[in-house]
Structure 1
Amino acid sequence: MKSSIAGKVVVLTGASSGVGEATARVLAEKGAVVVLAARSLEKLNRVAASLPGKHDVAALDVTDEQSTEAAIRGVYRTHGRIDVLVNNAGFGEFVAFDNAKLAQFREMMDVNYLGAVRCCLAAFPYMKEAGSGHIVNVVSIAGKLATAKSTAYAASKHALLGFTNALRQDCKGTGIRVSAVNPGPIDTPFFDRADPEGTYVRNLGSFMLKPEQVARAIAKVIERGTQEKDMPFISGFGAKLFQLFPKLTDKLLSGILNKK
């Protein structure tokens, strides 16, 4: 059966590796016109070369307002519309608070949160004019369930999830859908920077998601218009449990959650 994604113009940030690369492949296989966006055209062209069907690349730095606006404007001029925006760009650094630097907080907030905001601001007018569109923010379960050594990362993801939920309310009546995908740890190059000593990966390796799992979940969210997707199930359950019983959940799960 033909996917509802077929023929849609999808702008995907952070598309040069990891979850972004896997998502580009899944969407392209479903017939989407995927516009791969990231800072490095060289890396984007490498990914694009392996994709089926019609696709495009766009140099885009989510920390730069002019770069973001120019890239989104270029996509609209080339393809005539922007049906889906997937904000996937992001990074993390796991460090105890007493060793953290203010610069780390600034950089993670600038990329993980404001980067998505910049892309939304650039794409929103085109979607609003069309009376349709779908914004999918790849957040993290860390946006709901914070752990040790992640003060800066968790703060940026809490901000992004709050923004996503508020934006959904602002978009009522516009025809624009807004979704959040909240994955747990994923086996990607993300941890080369986040966990250079490999402690977290060694401790939670068997629980880590594969990029392809997250990519398929993102595709399903686009197809079904799901507002929010937590994964894996146990992480989403833990987050809901924490909201209801924070003291009990902290006591039960802190040994697992804080293995960094």
Structure 2
Amino acid sequence: MSREKSLKNKVILITGASSGLGEQIAYESSLKGAIVILAARRIEKLREVQKTCEKLSGKKAYVFHLDISDPEEIEEVLEKTSAEVGPIDVLVNNAGFGHFEDFRTVDMNIAEKMMRVNVLGLMYTSQFAAIQMAERGKGHIINICSMSGKIATPKSTIYSASKFAVLGFSNALRLDLKPLNVGVTTVNLGPVKTDFFDLADKNGDYLEKVGQLALDPKNVAHQVVSIMGTSKRELNLPKIMEFASRAYILFPKIGDFLAGTAFNKK
């Protein structure tokens, strides 16, 4: 896939855009002159993000209520965006949530919901977007994944499972769509300073424990937007965790030791 020279007037759909990383990606995309479509459940928060995006881009931004766990609503929203805004140039699958807990006490209703949101919801949006993009012979799907999809750690059994699934799905989807000039990139992140941990971390001190490993969402958003329209396979942040993920594959026993000690901050 060729590199886009500019995001000006490109249509970018961002799920989970009401706060955190999704919100920052929306702002960074708007700064580049893109037309952003903001999707999430919290419609009032989306309205606030919409106003800022319109100020930054000087263009209309669009808001859609989206429960990513509902396939019918996903299809409805994708059809509406195509009709009201136009075909999607870049899809950013950002919606998702985490939950850190010893597996023996995990409520399996949470596990089922996480798989519906983190995995199946992402698959549905990707499929609808891929169909449109393949027909046009261009497009880019960016799946916000996690280093938890490369390095499993204690108390992240369900979350890691969901992200391992997203990574495997994305790698296969990349091969499916490459002949059609549609790119697929995974963004594998360590901890990001967002409200994600309000739900994921019961103790409320995880970000403090990881210290300098925690990523600035504005910086991450900048890097994500910089790869839009490129053929980049994956973006891994922070770099030290990218190195650790490679060592985890090459030296699994050492990897398990580090995952259970140095990277076990939950």
Range into which the TM-score falls when normalised by the shorter chain: over 0.9
Pick one of 25, 28, 48 that aligns with 1:26: 28
Counterpart-to-counterpart distance in 2, 1:156 and 1:64: 17
Q: CA deviation at 1:92?
A: 0.3
Matched, 1:45 2:51: no
Per-residue Cα deviation, 1:138-173 (whole angstroms, up to 9, x for no partner): 000110011110000000000001000010111121
Pick one of 96, 117, 122 that aligns with 1:116: 122
Matched, 1:147 2:149: no
Counterpart-to-counterpart distance in 1, 2:5 and 2:50: 21
Per-residue Cα deviation, 1:215-244 (whole angstroms, up to 9, x for no partner): 112112214331101100001110010001
Per the normalisation by structure 2, the TM-score is 0.94
Pick one of 177, 182, 188 that aligns with 2:194: 188
Counterpart-to-counterpart distance in 2, 1:99 and 1:217: 37
- Quote the residue 1:245 is aligned against: 251
Pick one of 3, 6, 29 that aligns with 1:4: 6
Change in Cα spacing, 1:223 to 1:132, as seen in structure 2 (3 Å) is closer
Q: Which secondary structure state, in structure 2, belongs to the residue aligned with residue 91 of structure 1?
A: coil
Counterpart-to-counterpart distance in 1, 2:223 and 2:147: 14
Change in Cα spacing, 1:188 to 1:168, as seen in structure 2 (3 Å) is same
Pick one of 80, 87, 93 that aligns with 1:81: 87
Number of paired residues? 259
Per the normalisation by structure 1, the TM-score is 0.96
Q: Name the stretch that deviates more: 12-21 or 55-64.
A: 55-64
Counterpart-to-counterpart distance in 2, 1:152 and 1:9: 33
Change in Cα spacing, 1:178 to 1:59, as seen in structure 2 (3 Å) is same
- Quote the residue 1:126 is aligned against: 132
Counterpart-to-counterpart distance in 1, 2:246 and 2:48: 40
Change in Cα spacing, 1:15 to 1:107, as seen in structure 2 (3 Å) is same
| Pairing of 1:192-211 with structure 2 (within 5 A) | 192-211=198-217
Q: Which secondary structure state, in structure 1, belongs to the residue aligned with residue 262 of structure 2?
A: helix
Q: One-letter code of the match for 2:33?
A: G
Q: Name the stretch that deviates more: 199-208 or 182-191.
A: 199-208
Pick one of 216, 225, 233 that aligns with 1:219: 225
Counterpart-to-counterpart distance in 2, 1:24 and 1:158: 26
Per-residue Cα deviation, 1:175-229 (whole angstroms, up to 9, x for no partner): 1111100010001000000113223222113320011121112112214331101
Q: CA deviation at 1:103?
A: 1.2
Percent of aligned positions that are identical: 43
Gaps of 5+ in 1: none
The CA RMSD measured in Å over matched residues stands at: 1.4
Counterpart-to-counterpart distance in 2, 1:219 and 1:33: 13
Q: CA deviation at 1:258?
A: 0.9
User: Are the aligned partners of 1:221 and 1:227 in contact in 2 as well (CA < 8 Å)?
Assistant: no
Q: CA deviation at 1:253?
A: 4.9
Counterpart-to-counterpart distance in 1, 2:250 and 2:210: 25
Counterpart-to-counterpart distance in 2, 1:108 and 1:197: 20
Pick one of 16, 19, 41 that aligns with 2:18: 16
Q: Name the stretch that deviates more: 94-103 or 141-150.
A: 94-103
Q: CA deviation at 1:251?
A: 2.5
Counterpart-to-counterpart distance in 1, 2:264 and 2:107: 20
